[in-house]
Structure 1
Amino acid sequence: MKKDKRDDQSPDLTRRRFLTHSGTAVVGLGMLSSGLLSAKTWAAAAVGEHASATLMRMARDIYPHDTLEDKYYAAVLTPLAEKANGDAELKKLLSEGVKELDNRCDKLFARPYLELENEPDRVFVLRAMEDGAFFQRIKGDLMMGIYNNPELWPRFGYGGSAWEHGGYINRGYDKIDWL
């Protein structure tokens, strides 16, 4: 029996497999955008689960906004972790920074950073590291990622840039009661 030429060229990706995989991707993207997946989940591929969770806790300690969901911190940390996948120096900075943070906590409190329940203890350790490249990198990315996010401006009481509207006069400046 003679084989049909098309049998040798059949694609590995059938229509059914394509639909299955694309559906999974859509669900994953939806979960990320809704905040169901955290930075821990997405950064784990680059720096490991422990480092990912530590970076999330560190982010919340550096810029502690209790009313902000983790998804806003994850939106900053995820690109940083993804960049670390292709940048050996950044990956080393993040990995060694987390190790240093844990070592300092271990010396002072006999436990890693993630296990410190007392926020002032965590802040004490972070203040000791604040001049280092690791802390400055995380702090800088967070500052730009959180405070330059127009979606969050109303939550911080910032109405956005005023120069396009003639400045702050007649735009609420006269209603400030704390000046």
Structure 2
Amino acid sequence: MNKNKTAVPSPNLSRRRFLARSTVAAVGAGALGSALLSPAAWAASAIGDHASTTLLRMARDVFPHDSLEDKYYAQVMSPLAEQAAKDSDLQTLLKDGVAALDEQAKKRFGKVYLEVATEADRVTILKALQDSPFFQKIKGDLMMGIYNNQELWPRFGYGGSAWEKGGYVNRGFDENDWIEGV
């Protein structure tokens, strides 16, 4: 044997160890893959691709914050989709509501809601449905989900609850530059 050659250690990787590690890697890749789904995929399994994409567009039209990413709207709508998967009445409400949006859009603009180009035109469609249980359900869930999201409060200029810190009187309530006319 030649003393100048260094022995390359053989990897200590048994079949069992290989399978265990590859399983962990596969689970990790699956979790990453599900995290990378588009925000519109939040409800596809419960109500279908078209309905989930339409509801995401509706959410942005009902509470339009151009600086917010779709993920924040999808975070609000995801529990709704999970509930719809278990509640056939809610699933019907959502599907029928999307159908009503599309019907109003076709009546007014000759195309489905998603294809209506301007926000102002989509708002006219929403106004026609604003008293419906469907619209009220979406609006209520969005209002609570968007404005109760502590992660978003700084983006709206809200510092959070102040009562436990002595209130706003002595904490610069009059220095809000985000409220016009203050």
How far the C-alpha of 1:40 sits from its partner, in A, is 1.7
User: What's the CA shift string for 1:69-104, capped at 9, x where partnerless?
Assistant: 000001011111111111100000000000011001
How far the C-alpha of 1:150 sits from its partner, in A, is 0.5
Letter in 2 for 1:105: A
Contact kept, 8 Å, 1:84 with 1:91, in 2: the verdict is yes
In terms of Rg, which structure is larger?
A: 2
How far the C-alpha of 1:118 sits from its partner, in A, is 1.3
Q: Using the alignment, how far apart are the partners of 2:130 and 2:52 within structure 1?
A: 19
Contact kept, 8 Å, 1:39 with 1:77, in 2: the verdict is no
2:168 counterpart of 1:168: yes
Letter in 1 for 2:165: H
User: What's the CA shift string for 1:110-161, capped at 9, x where partnerless?
Assistant: 0000000011110001011011110011111111110000110010010100
Unaligned runs of 5+ in 2: 1-18
Contact kept, 8 Å, 1:38 with 1:74, in 2: the verdict is no
Identity of aligned residues (%): 58
Structure 1 stretches of 4+ with a deviation exceeding 2 A read 14-21, 28-31, 174-179
1:1-179 matches, within 5 Å, as: 15=20, 18-28=23-33, 30-31=35-36, 37-176=37-176, 178-179=181-182
Letter in 2 for 1:15: A
Q: Closer, same or farther in 2 for the Cα pair 1:176/1:76, shift >3 Å?
A: closer
TM-score by length of 2: 0.83
Q: Work out the number of aligned pairs and report it.
A: 161
User: What's the CA shift string for 1:16-61, capped at 9, x where partnerless?
Assistant: 6632441233313543xxxxx3332121111110001100100000
Contact kept, 8 Å, 1:46 with 1:82, in 2: the verdict is yes
Letter in 2 for 1:23: G
Q: Closer, same or farther in 2 for the Cα pair 1:29/1:111, shift >3 Å?
A: closer
Q: Using the alignment, how far apart are the partners of 1:133 and 1:39 within structure 2?
A: 24
Q: Using the alignment, how far apart are the partners of 1:39 and 1:80 within structure 2?
A: 14
| Aligned CA-pair RMSD | 1.6
TM-score by length of 1: 0.84
Q: Using the alignment, how far apart are the partners of 1:100 and 1:128 within structure 2?
A: 10
Q: Closer, same or farther in 2 for the Cα pair 1:102/1:30, shift >3 Å?
A: closer
Q: Closer, same or farther in 2 for the Cα pair 1:79/1:68, shift >3 Å?
A: same
Unaligned runs of 5+ in 1: 1-13, 32-36
Which deviates the most, 39-48 or 119-128?
39-48
How far the C-alpha of 1:176 sits from its partner, in A, is 4.2
Q: Residue 7 of structure 1 aligns with which residue?
A: none
Q: Using the alignment, how far apart are the partners of 2:82 and 2:51 within structure 1?
A: 14
Letter in 1 for 2:20: R
